[in-house]
Structure 1
């Protein structure tokens, strides 16, 4: 298995990104990963061609479309084989830094990025005071789309009134609560609860200030129950819900859905900030996560190529390129000058997002396990009928958070469908003998018989199907698109001995 490419570049090279010495005249072959959204690949190709013309350089660039949610996973699987420049969501930054997949920006580049972009996006690209990437957007948050023929304008600030409008019209209210902590956290932020994670210089999580298990958390769950227990509740964030057999009249989603929502609603299209809910006579305006999309550069062995890539990344995230992406896709720019364009300021969806940002919590680096841990309280709240049951759900949540830091993170765990994807499960801890880790696992028959070897409490994915050298006939072949998490997916139920050699990075599988 190929190892991570970790390159130490000189301080002088780190400072080069613009206008200094012209890069050595050479044709560089590069790969760039951008959003798979229609038209983005072609626009990026045009922007790279323009960069080459303006700077008198030649690049043999292959531009490929890949989801920002998946690109980090694919990069970490093999940094060496990954793209030279790639786009990703900010919640992936910590794991990319830990994997050595990002070249830190030098002082000059950092100063320019800080000057040209909004504060939230710069923070999103920063780990322990160092910029690791370039802000691409400032629109990765959510707000409320609604059907103006169903939801009355005077009801827009009341969750209870909006639910009543939906119930009266026989229409649904789409919001992911049981299936997405990113969305359900909005109720906790409304009541002042926080979940603030701290990393060390390597990007590893060392502590958390989490107040979800509190009186504020109880109020949050009571507010959440108003939607969870309603017959119009639909756990979804899909714009297609407006065109479903039983259509939604409300959708909590982001700017990426605007084109489809407009097409579905036509003249009844509406967008605004999230509403408030009331508990014991007190109103709480729903909060949200605010986030960004980022562009990173992989470390290089060739200093000239590295300098050119940094210059290209800065160009692809400048005012002109961000404006072009706004015009094509409606993406909200992080560039301060682009934000002041009349077309940007008058955009209905971005205006709704900006209104919601007054109640938003900037999404910092969050432990990968939190996203699953924070689902259980929503499921429990849906069935709960007493405060004691709500408190029990929050107690369980707190115990799971605390366990992350009490966890013995040495060794490896073989996590998967067979243990409910519990990456803290000591029962699935592999036995170590010198540099070889081994476990015998019973894989039951199910729709998905996959999993991978991880560090306890983490979701690293370099020890998966691409590392298997013995027993490949027992599993599905590697598929970066269909299996972006690099899981080992067994073809049949049975008992298997799985071994990982930490020296060679190879995995062997033997059916018992």
Structure 2
């Protein structure tokens, strides 16, 4: 299609959206949207924004003349608390590169990727323009009309990111977000001065070594994300139903009751602590924790505390009916989305594209040890040599893309809390998993 025609169509589409919203938009704001749409259309026709670290030198030289002035642009970007300084640096770099186009203001707000969906859906019209979120939230955000489709440079985004991350950012063949990381999973961290590589292979070995050292093995069991590892490892299922809303779960089938008992046995060990992520971090820092199940976001903490003794591995096996069973895990990705209700959708998409490009994914790895979804960065020697990334790769053979309905989380967490406390209130383990499955598979209210 001719670039000019495509640009005109994008401008008309943007104007139509603005008109249908019934917003009282000043001419300057409308001009901004038109300029951004034109810029993106021309970029799609004539300029690639991927390929090497040099891509961050400019969002697209080809768009400079067409988008000579964006006017006054104010955007809000949400990201994890731990990423605030890094996001500020990225935003400032974006502003500097585009300072000739207008007065650009980017406000940074803290929002955990796990909470993004809930915060966005409270009021999409008042939410951030650009936001990071976990990939399992994509379906609901799309259904609520809270994600802008990535259409103009979709092929470019797909070509520079790992296939799995692109799949996680897509729905019904359409790309709705920019892949940011490929590390939203969990594995085992351990202090090798206490836990040997052989010990790290089994929960029993870890607990024995931790007890001998007067330290602890920590894991968050009262959480649906982590308790999944025991049941999935035993061959049981918890996944999204075909309707894309409800959950299919058979944890109450054989050997589900025995899995529940195995979890209770682990939790009752004096060297085990069921701890939140924040408490795991504190435990590593104060020296009480020598092994923990967590993700790449805590790599820096473990590395700084344990130094040359810092080690990571796939999840261990656990004892189930006298046999060793490999723990499984959820796997996922972190994505960046754009709010279609933004008054500056075009510029917001350029910002989202910018903060997820090759050089900024390299920056995330260097600053936070986060695993990149960008193909080039992921293949780099430094990334491949990182203990946390290597452990995540080893765990990937026993990991499933996280896809469950909204009714999964609370019953799964409640089951974990009961098993950790040991207070079954007189119920058998079979009754406990029956109750959990009943809640997990309950129809989602629509």
TM above 0.5, yes or no, is: yes
For residue 169 of structure 2, the aligned residue among 104, 125, 150 is 125
Name the structure where helix makes up a greater proportion of residues.
Answer: 2
The corresponding residue for 1:229 is 268
Does the 8 Å contact 1:85/1:297 carry over to 2? yes
Match of 1:499 in 2: none
Q: Quote the offset at 1:15 in angstroms.
A: 8.2
Please state if 1:209 is matched with 2:251: no
Quote the residue 1:85 is aligned against. Answer: 130
The structural deviation recorded for 1:276 is 0.7
Q: Note the C-alpha offset of 1:13.
A: 8.3
CA shift in 2, pair 1:47/1:140, >3 Å: farther
CA distance in structure 2 between the aligned counterparts of 1:90 and 1:114, rounded to whole angstroms: 15
> Structure 1 residue 289 and structure 2 residue 335: aligned?
no
Q: Is the 8 A contact 1:7 1:301 kept in 2?
A: no
**Residues 282 and 45 of structure 1: is their aligned pair in 2 closer, same or farther, counting only changes over 3 Å?**
same
Q: Tell me, in whole angstroms, the C-alpha distance in 1 between the residues paired with 2:42 and 2:160.
A: 15
Distance in structure 2 (CA, Å) of the matches to 1:81 and 1:181 = 30
Superposition deviation, residue 14 in structure 1: 12
Cα deviation digits, residues 411-430 of structure 1 (max 9, x gap): xxxxxxxxxxxxxxxxxxxx
Structure 1 contact 90–292 (Cα < 8 Å) conserved: yes
- Return the alpha-carbon distance in structure 1 between the equivalents of residues 328 and 39 of structure 2: 39
Structure 2's unaligned 5+ residue stretches are 1-17, 23-32, 46-62
Structure 2 residue 97 is the aligned partner of structure 1 residue 73: no
Q: Distance in 1 between matches of 2:21 and 2:86?
A: 30
Q: Which residue of 2 aligns with 1:477?
A: none
1:277 aligns with 2:321: no
Which ranges of structure 1 fall in alignment gaps of 5 or more residues? 411-512
Distance 1:57 1:13, change over 3 A: closer
Q: CA deviation at 1:329?
A: 1.4
Q: Give yes or no for contact 1:380–1:390 (8 Å, CA) kept in 2.
A: no
Partner secondary structure for residue 215 of structure 1 = coil
**Is the CA contact (8 Å cut-off) linking 1:90 and 1:124 kept in structure 2?**
yes
2:292 aligned to 234, 248, 251, which one? 251
Highest relative contact order (Cα 8 Å, sep 6+), 1 or 2? 2
- From the superposition, tell whether residues 380 and 33 of structure 1 become closer, same or farther in structure 2 (CA, over 3 Å): closer
Quote the residue 1:333 is aligned against: 372
Q: What TM-score, normalized by structure 2, do the two folds share? A: 0.79
Is the contact made by 2:199 and 2:205 (CA closer than 8 Å) also made in structure 1?
A: yes
Runs of 4+ in 1 over 6 A off after TM superposition: 5-10, 12-15
Aligned equivalents of 1:232, 1:144: Cα separation in 2: 16
2:219 aligned to 158, 167, 175, which one? 175
Task: Give the superposition deviation at 1:19.
Answer: 4.2
Q: Deviations over 1:319-338 (max 9, x none)?
A: 11111121121111111111
Distance 1:301 1:78 in 2: 12
- The secondary structure found in structure 2 opposite 1:122 is helix
Paired residue total: 389
Q: Does the 8 Å CA contact 2:238/2:248 hold for their aligned counterparts?
A: yes
What pairs with 1:339-488 in structure 2 (closer than 5 Å)?
Answer: 339-364=378-403, 366-382=404-420, 383=422, 389-405=428-444, 409=445
For 2:202 and 2:312, how far apart are their aligned partners in 1? Answer: 15
Determine the structure 1 residue equivalent to 2:53: none
What whole-Å deviation, never above 9, does each CA across 1:272-313 have from its counterpart, x for those lacking one? 1111113234321111111211111111576xx433332332
Question: Which whole-Å deviations, capped at 9, do the CAs of 1:16-35 have from their partners, x for residues lacking one?
Answer: 48344634622222222233
> Match for residue 501 of structure 1?
none
Following the alignment from structure 1 to structure 2, what is the Cα–Cα distance between the partners of residues 359 and 261?
A: 23
